[in-house]
């Protein structure tokens, strides 16, 4: 009995310790904030304002008609003169007459004066009703009214959410890709965009999860509040509009209203990125800089580039093949924000570059070859025949394809990198089959998706860039052994109380190393098809931790695995008996009472020989 009580007390202490550990994190996640005051019902306000005149006309017409009927002298059933109707009878008659129901002359036949006034009342009230109904139809089609009805429905949808969600501001190319990735992972999102066509396209899209979406200006704090900024289930805000000032306004609003809420921003210029960083935006991604970095990595660190592509692709899709970009002379067509970032990164890698730009005065490139690059003369003047590679990086997809096709005709052995701006042109780029096709929106969506869903993933990629190509190729060979020719699944895991099995064993003093954990549940001699990429423990990190690493409560581990492995490992971690079998090979009984009885039985069995040997 003492053993049972000690088990219960130890369990209670574990629960209390967990609560104390999680409480500051919940506060950090949700932040201490005051809920905003309830907004007035704008739909009712608009209805009252727009229908005020029709209602007054209708009430006045009824009042005149009822008053007139009470003043008109009538006759009784025998034809003798009587006073006018009572107010009740007059209102009753006008009510069914004005609505064209027409019960006849009640309570008895009318006098000529009453019939004359009834005729006036019919035209008066019917005209009032026509006027009122016309205003109602106009009100239903009023853009302000429809927008408020839609906003009200959106607010109710957001208010009913009872699961963590991401607030995405901007649903262009990048936002749509990010939303599809989150939807594929069954993660809730709330979307707002200033473009009605984008929201309509979102509502017509095929998603597993119903995503609340609203046409609204994200720069307005009221829009963010309507979208659930103060909701305790809002876990992060992502500013992805194509307007730097709008993204800056979103970041500023979030940091002022909910300073502890993570905000991830897109910034197209270095100045805006520095501004966002100055007040503590959590993650800022410049698509052009990221694109330039990836291109430089592809040219000079093909192993790192291949590893990045494999670990950020869609699980289950074919792996891209390794490419080796040649050194030598390169041409860069287009010197806007994108071209400048590419040139800056390639110059850091020591490549010899020639820039082709249609408007060198406007973009600040006095030494450029003037021209768009779509003409053969311009490319020949830039030295296309001596070049080993070309970057077609204008902001126009057709021009980029035209440059690439012309360059390939002039120099068939050229290494071609093409920028794809719009996802709708994917089939054209696939048909052209450049050596590298880079889509900035896809790269940014991958970056944000990685930061949102597996924070350790982004950290691992950052650490991996500091390793050499040899290290990357060794890891690539291990990944090939897992998944053969498809993109692996990347996920991270925290040894928290949710993984109750291993949580209990670790707190009971079990020494569990990482290698013992990665065993198939049915056959513990078979290793799970996964590679631990990174282990994070408080402020310490281990890249590619080995099997002998001893685990501790709270450890976070990033895995690269064959699709479907995650569910098997989590099942083991949450089932104490299954985990015990995986670790020891022993099939122990389940439940606290049964484990206590089993322990008592084992103790009794151990004591039996000693009792028999006693004199």
Residue 165: count other Cβ atoms within 10 Å of its Cβ: 23
Residue-level pLDDT at 402: 92
End-to-end CA distance of the chain: 29
Q: What is the DSSP string of 18-52?
A: HHHHHHHHHHHHH---PPPPPPP-HHHHHHHHHTH
The burial of 410, by beta-carbon neighbours within 10 Å (0-12 exposed, 13-18 middle, 19 or more buried), is given as middle
Please report the pLDDT score of residue 444 as a whole number.
80
Whether the Cβ atoms of residue 420 and residue 394 lie closer than 8 Å to each other: no
Residues 6+ apart with CB under 8 A from 308: 294, 297, 461, 464
Task: Among 163-172, 273-282, 505-514, 549-558, name the one with the lowest average pLDDT.
Answer: 273-282
pLDDT at position 600 is 67
User: Where would I find the H helices in 185-269?
Assistant: 196-204, 221-226, 244-257
Rounded Cα gap, residues 476 and 560, in angstroms: 11
% residues pLDDT > 90 (the chain): 14
Q: Give the span between the Cα atoms of 405 and 154, in whole angstroms.
A: 47
Peptide bond between residue 96 and the one before it cis (omega within 30 degrees of 0): no
Q: Which of left, alpha, beta for 228 (phi over 0: left; psi -120 to 50: alpha)?
A: left
The tens digit of pLDDT for each residue in 588-611 reads 666 666 566 666 666 666 666 555
Domains and CATH numbers, the chain: 42-141 (1.10.287.70), 161-285 (3.40.50.720), 291-453 (3.40.50.720), 488-592 (3.30.70.1450)
Structure tokens at 524: 């513990």
* pLDDT confidence of residue 24: 43
Closest CA to 246 of 189, 155, 170: 170
Please give the pLDDT value at position 601.
Answer: 65
pLDDT one-digit tens code per residue, 449-470: 878 877 788 889 888 888 888 8
pLDDT digits (tens, 9 = 90+) for 557-568: 999 988 888 888
pLDDT tops 60 at residue 331: yes
Which of 89, 95, 99 has the alpha carbon at shortest distance from 62? Answer: 95
Coil, strand, or helix at residue 486? Answer: strand
Largest Cα span, the chain = 131
- Provide the pLDDT confidence category of residue 28 given band limits of 50, 70 and 90: very low
pLDDT of residue 596: 65
Which tens digit of pLDDT belongs to each residue from 490-505? 888 899 988 888 998 8
**Residue 612 confidence (pLDDT):** 56
For 171, half-sphere exposure in the C-beta direction (CA atoms, 13 angstrom radius) is 28
**Residue 408 backbone dihedrals phi, psi, to 5 degrees:** -65, -35
CA pair distance 122, 109, nearest whole angstrom: 17
Instruction: Give Cβ neighbours of residue 538 (< 8 Å, ≥ 6 apart).
Output: 554
Q: 383: which 2 tokens?
A: 């030295």
Q: Is the pLDDT of residue 533 over 90?
A: yes
Whether 245 has a pLDDT exceeding 70, the answer reads yes
- Cα–Cα distance between 599 and 614 in angstroms, integer? 23
CA distances from 358 to 363, 364, 374, 380, 404 (A): 9, 11, 10, 15, 16
Q: pLDDT tier at 26 (50, 70, 90 boundaries)?
A: very low
Radius of gyration of the chain (CA): 36
Residue 107 CB-density burial (10 A; 0-12 exposed, 13-18 middle, 19+ buried): exposed
Residue 27: is its pLDDT beyond 50?
Answer: no
pLDDT (average), residues 315-325: 74
How much is the average pLDDT of 253-269? 88
Per-residue confidence (pLDDT) for residue 190, from 0 to 100: 93
pLDDT for 166 beyond 90: yes
Q: Is the pLDDT of residue 93 over 90?
A: no
E-strand stretches of 321-420: 329-333, 352-357, 369-370, 389-392, 415-419
422-436 pLDDT, tens digit per residue, is 878 888 888 888 888
Asked if the model's pLDDT at residue 370 lies above 80, the reply is yes
Query: 40-54, 105-119, 531-545: which range is least confident on average?
Result: 40-54
Q: Six-digit token pair at 455?
A: 């924070």
283 φ, ψ (degrees, to nearest 5): -140, 130
* The pLDDT of residue 556: 92
> Given this model, what pLDDT does residue 62 score?
92
Q: What is the arithmetic mean of pLDDT over 200-222?
A: 85
Q: Do the beta carbons of residue 379 and residue 406 sit within 8 Å?
A: yes
Whether residue 31 has pLDDT greater than 50: no
**Burial of 80: CB neighbours in 10 Å, binned 0-12, 13-18, 19+:** exposed
């Amino acid at each position: 009995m003492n053993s049972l009580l000690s088990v219960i007390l130890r369990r209670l202490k574990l629960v209390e310790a967990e609560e104390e550990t999680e409480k500051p994190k919940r506060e950090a996640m949700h932040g201490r904030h005051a809920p905003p005051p309830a907004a007035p019902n704008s739909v009712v306000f608009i209805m009252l304002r727009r229908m005020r005149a029709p209602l007054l006309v209708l009430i006045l017409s009824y009042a005149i008609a009822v008053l007139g009927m009470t003043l008109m002298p009538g006759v009784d059933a025998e034809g003798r003169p009587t006073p006018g109707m009572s107010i009740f009878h007059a209102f009753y008659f006008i009510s069914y007459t004005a609505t064209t129901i027409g019960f006849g002359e009640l309570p008895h036949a009318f006098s000529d004066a009453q019939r004359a006034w009834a005729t006036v009342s019919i035209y008066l009230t019917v005209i009032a009703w026509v006027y009122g109904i016309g205003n109602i139809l106009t009100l239903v089609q009023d853009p302000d009214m429809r927008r408020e009805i839609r906003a009200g429905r959106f607010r109710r949808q957001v208010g009913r959410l009872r699961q963590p969600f991401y607030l995405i501001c901007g649903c262009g190319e990048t936002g749509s890709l990010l939303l599809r990735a989150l939807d594929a992972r069954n993660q809730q999102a709330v979307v707002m965009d200033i473009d009605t066509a984008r929201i309509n396209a979102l509502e017509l899209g095929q998603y597993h999860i119903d995503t609340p979406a609203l046409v609204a200006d994200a720069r307005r704090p009221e829009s963010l509040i309507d979208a659930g900024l103060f909701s305790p289930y809002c876990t992060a805000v992502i500013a992805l509009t194509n307007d730097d000032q709008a993204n800056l306004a979103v970041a500023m609003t979030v940091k002022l209203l909910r300073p502890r809420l993570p905000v991830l921003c897109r910034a197209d210029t270095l100045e805006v990125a520095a501004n966002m960083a100055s007040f503590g935006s959590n993650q800022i991604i410049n698509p052009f800089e990221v694109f330039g970095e990836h291109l430089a990595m592809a040219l000079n660190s093909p192993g790192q580039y291949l590893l990045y592509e494999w670990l950020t692709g869609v699980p289950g899709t074919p792996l891209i093949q390794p490419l080796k970009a040649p050194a030598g002379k390169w041409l860069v067509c287009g010197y806007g924000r994108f071209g400048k970032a590419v040139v800056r990164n390639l110059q850091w890698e020591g490549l010899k570059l020639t820039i082709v730009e249609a408007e060198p005065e406007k973009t600040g490139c006095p030494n450029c070859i003037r021209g768009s690059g779509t003409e053969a003369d311009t490319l020949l003047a830039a030295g296309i025949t001596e070049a080993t590679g070309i970057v077609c990086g204008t902001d126009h997809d057709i021009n980029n394809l035209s440059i690439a096709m012309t360059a390939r005709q002039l120099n068939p052995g050229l290494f071609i990198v093409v920028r794809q701006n719009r996802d709708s042109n994917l089939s054209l780029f696939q048909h052209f089959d450049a050596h590298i096709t880079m889509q900035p929106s896809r790269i940014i969506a991958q970056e944000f998706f990685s930061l949102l869903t597996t924070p350790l993933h982004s950290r691992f990629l950052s650490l991996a860039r500091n390793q050499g190509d040899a290290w990357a190729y060794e890891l690539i060979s291990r990944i090939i052994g897992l998944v053969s020719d498809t993109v692996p699944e990347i996920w991270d895991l925290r040894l928290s109380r949710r993984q109750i099995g291993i949580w209990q064993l670790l707190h009971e003093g079990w020494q569990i190393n990482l290698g013992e954990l990665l065993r198939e549940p049915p056959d513990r001699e078979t290793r799970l098809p996964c590679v631990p990429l990174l282990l994070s423990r408080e402020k310490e990190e281990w890249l590619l931790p080995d099997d002998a690493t001893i685990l501790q409560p709270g450890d976070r581990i990033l895995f690269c695995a064959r699709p479907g492995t995650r569910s098997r490992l989590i099942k083991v971690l949450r089932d104490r008996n299954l985990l015990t079998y995986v670790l020891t090979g022993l099939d122990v009984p389940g439940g606290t009472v049964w484990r206590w009885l089993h322990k008592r039985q084992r103790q009794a069995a151990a004591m039996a020989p000693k009792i028999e040997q006693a004199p």
